[in-house]
Structure 1
Amino acid sequence: MKIRVSGMFALAMTTFLTAPVEAAITAASDPVLFWNDLAIKTAGGNPANQARVIAMVNAAMYDAVNRTYNGAGNYYNVGVVAPGGNVRAAASQAAHDVLVAVNGSQAATYGAALTASLALVAPGTAKANGVATGAAYASALVTLRANDGSTPPPGFSYTPGNLPGQWRPTPPGNAPAAIPFWGNVTPFLLNSGNQFRPLAPPTLDSAEYLSAYSEVKEIGSLTSASRTADQTASALFWDVSNGTTWNRIGLDLISDDGLSTLENARVMAKLSTAIADSLIAGFDAKYAYNFWRPVTAIREGDNDGVAGTSGDAGWSALFATPAHPSFVSTHSTQSGAASAVLLSLVQDQAFCNTISGDTRCFTGIADAAADAANSRVWGGIHFRFDNEIGLATGQAVAGWALSQAAFNAVPEPASWALMIAGFGLAGSALRRRSSKVAYA
């Protein structure tokens, strides 16, 4: 396994990386942790759908767990009749039923996990009631999302542009536009995908565009001489991230905190629904503005009608450009949303994250979000404004998610605006984490 350490943190991580390894999550672990671990490992499809599935699992689990705590928090699906019962049975049945409904090809895996989970619960009324509670909330959640727009509606079509500034399929694969309908998917907590739609990207003759064009042309090139080894490592690390990555980071951060099952359920429900909604918001902006990718802009730089751009018909990015418009970066929207939620609900700390066997370490949550956003410029597939506006859009989505009653304690905790202070603490002395989750 390669360990890639972010910038100034290399020396400090020497101590951190020698710390004891956290225990693996098993069926005997807290059920919210166990089922999230399994959902993350088995989530399929495009990144936006991966995030949708994990959000569905967590919304159903939260409600089921909340019922076993006698409604200590605000439900997501209100009005469901369920008897409560054992919390492990309720959480496990809820997660299992959602996962089977949305990913039936893995039904045997989920069935074995449910058997292992329920074997830890003594037979009796509490177990039976827990199973019934989990099934009820899973059924309600699956019904709620049955027609959420996550499959293309009949007759839907999308036509790329061919004018300067407009997205069109990118080399080398020239693949058609990916999920152009996703901005119309019903959000989990937002009112609509366009609720936080940003203003249009800068015009091609603006100073902001010209600066971003020059930057990505230089540092994002496959043969860049100015990109550092750490920037290259960041670009390659985040390139293989997907809709499960920030859910995994959140899960890892809380897995050894000793939180109650209800507290774990709340953190993961807020996190996963904010991530899912941030991707809906991101794809809404992408296809609303249809802004071209750097590889197209640079190869067409002598034909864009702008005096300040110098084209290069043979230019290539560090790696292949994803098949959807540039503005905004959805890596950045989900990083902004996830980091804001986590900074509101858990204590910040240094951590490492592993994707496909490659590990990268960070000074804290905000550092990881900034690294994820910057990586897209370093990889040559986004302009800087794609990432900066993407982060801000994700943070707005998170603010909305945190302010909503769903998944919050009764009475509600302090205002989500406190999260802003968390971003200002990046780089300050880190402390051993303990949960910020409060249930009054």
Structure 2
Amino acid sequence: MTTNVPVRIHDVPRLQAQRRSLTVLVIAQVLSGVGLAAGVTVGALLAQDLLSSTGLAGLPSAVGTAGSALAAVAVGRVSQARGRRPGLALGYLAGAVGSFGVIAAAVAGSPVLLFLALFLYGAGTATNLQARYAGADLAAPERRAGAVSVVLVATTLGGVVGPNLAAPTGGLARAFGIPYLAGPFLLAGAAYALAALVLAVWLRPDPLLLARALEDGPAAAPDAAAGRTPPAVARRGPGVLVGALVMVITQLVMVAIMTMTPVHMHDSGSGAAAAGLVIAVHIGAMYLPSPLTGWLVDRYGRLTVATASGLVLLAAGLVAAGAPDDSVAAYAVALALLGLGWNLGLVAGTAIITDAVPPATRARTQGLVDVSISVSGAVGGLVSGLVVAVAGYPLLAVGGGVLALVVVPVVVVAARNR
């Protein structure tokens, strides 16, 4: 009689801790998704109201992006020194403080306080994105992308719920003498605070600290005795630069085309409801395919899916450029492809980064990578308006799609150097 042993005995604590970590992270991501979406829904409108200007209504996005970039560094450094639990919890707590600061700014009618608060609020965005790395800390190499996808897709539920609660929270705000547009930030602050609490109390053992301990501890002994190379020193894949470039390029292209599509639709005669529908489809495509993407990355390889992201983004640009002005369906297809291409690039790039960096230096490196992603998104948003003003939306869409193909030579070079 034979006994099937699916895992070595020293892997059991890792597997149990991984299941617990994913459960806690999913709960926190649902809450943080509510906070993220609720605030984004009305941030620009609130700034427009306080500043009495539409020309500066885009500033909340820029300020939030700056705060997100700084927070990515901070969360990465705290996680590196103390573990994922304090790093992520402090990031969400900063997002909660920023949310309540926005409410105070609305009550006081202070634009300066508003932008300071939005800068802090950006920490919630950065932390929401960084949480995907925590999902992969304890995952086996062949399941890392799947773990990342579980954390990412959890954001979707909160992202759907948040905007739908904008009107009820606005009414609640009025009942307390707070401006109507600040209402969603009540929800955002509470959601971020709860996410911080969930992580601080239940994310134990800390996945990053446990991964370090297992890598450095006696778990490697059975491998060494059997003449096998321990996972900690095995070949780590194509490298940090490749993963970073894949995510930076896909982020830049996605933000550039996404930012200007509603503007182009409005200028072409489409109403706000049509543009909102297209953006909703886009956001769904950014996160909902995550489980499938994770399986594809683990099954067919990081570089294969990274290449696919560039090709899908090219298709998105071509469809958007050729869409008739009055075809909401065509724009919806284009932005669905845009979201899917971003998802493929993000999951593949995250897996590449996690493969390439050992737990001892992982969090700091991941934080720096996410800074570059935030900056590329800001650049994409700023440049997109200039390109459309000078050359038109179709050229922006085609140019973005062609730029996405830069991923292909990056992957080819990485494959040759493995």
TM-score w.r.t. length of structure 2: 0.32
Bigger fraction of residues in helix:
2
